[in-house]
Amino acid sequence: FPEMLSNPKLVLVQGTLNVVMKQNVTLSCLSEPGSPPVRYTLFKHNQQVSALNRSDLTPALFTLTISSASDVGEYKCKAEYNNSRGGKYSNSLNFTLIEPISKPVLSSPTSQAKKGQNVTLSCFSENGSLPITYLFFRGTQNISPQKTMQKREAAVIFLFINSLSDFGTYKCKANNSFPNNTKYSNGFNFTLAEERSHSQPLIISLGLILLLLIIGFALAIPFFIIPLYKASE
């Protein structure tokens, strides 16, 4: 009598669970103990993908090519004897498709700033598999710890404009688990806002007072100056 099959083990022997398009992966399925011959069937979401017969105790190897988004998801294998009903199912392996990120956009609510002002910068990649990690620079200098975003939202940092050197060119970079896929943003510069002089309001006030005096003098001529002039004749 054949030895009773155990639940087979499904193992990834080539590739990774985070896959990119057109990537090849190889899965190994083996039930031990068991008495050959054994039939191994690979399933994806309960749909049969492939089947192999093994006449010895070597594992069944299934090679897959990820050619579309429908090729990712949960895989299991089934081990059974050819002349028996039922069978035993393996653990599952879940493949996730990773996509490259798009070029991030660096922006700020304001483009003008002055010394002593707090400003914000945000960096956002619209496309790409999550999570996405962002890093901010001024020139070539890193100005913040990296920020890893688990949701499709921008990474934001807060800056204090303290000197003229803080008006340099800012950039950010973004990457995810897609291999060799670091992208850099556009450059962003704050322009120095013109600071109004403290004496400017005083000058404006004095000018208004002078203008009112001139208007008042002009209005007084018909009522006071001319009658006084006629009375003196």
pLDDT at 196: 57
- Give the CA distances from residue 158 to residues 30, 42, 108, 153, in Å, rounded to whole numbers and listed in that order: 55, 52, 10, 16
Prediction pTM value: 0.63
pLDDT at 222: 73
What would you report as the CA-atom Rg of the chain, rounded to the nearest whole angstrom? 38
pLDDT at 74: 96
Spell out the per-residue pLDDT of the chain, length 233, in tens: 456 788 999 999 999 999 999 999 999 999 987 678 899 999 999 899 999 999 998 999 999 999 988 999 999 999 998 766 778 999 999 999 999 999 999 999 999 998 889 999 999 999 999 999 999 999 999 999 999 999 999 999 999 998 888 888 999 999 999 988 999 999 999 998 876 555 556 677 787 888 888 887 777 777 665 666 556 66
Q: What is the CATH number of domain 105-192?
A: 2.60.40.10
User: Beta strand pairing status for 191-192 and 112-113?
Assistant: parallel
Helix count (H) and strand count (E) of the chain? 2, 20
d(CA 17, CA 15): 7
d(CA 228, CA 232): 6
DSSP of 160-196? EE-SGGGGSEEEEEEE-SSTT--EE---EEPEEPPPP
pLDDT at 185: 97
Same fold, 9-97 and 105-192: yes
Dihedral sign from CA coordinates of 200, 204, 209, 211:
positive
pLDDT at 27: 98
Q: Domain ranges in the chain?
A: 9-97, 105-192
Task: Find the farthest-apart pair of alpha carbons in the chain and give their distance in angstroms, rounded.
Answer: 148
Fold topology of 9-97: Immunoglobulin-like (2.60.40)
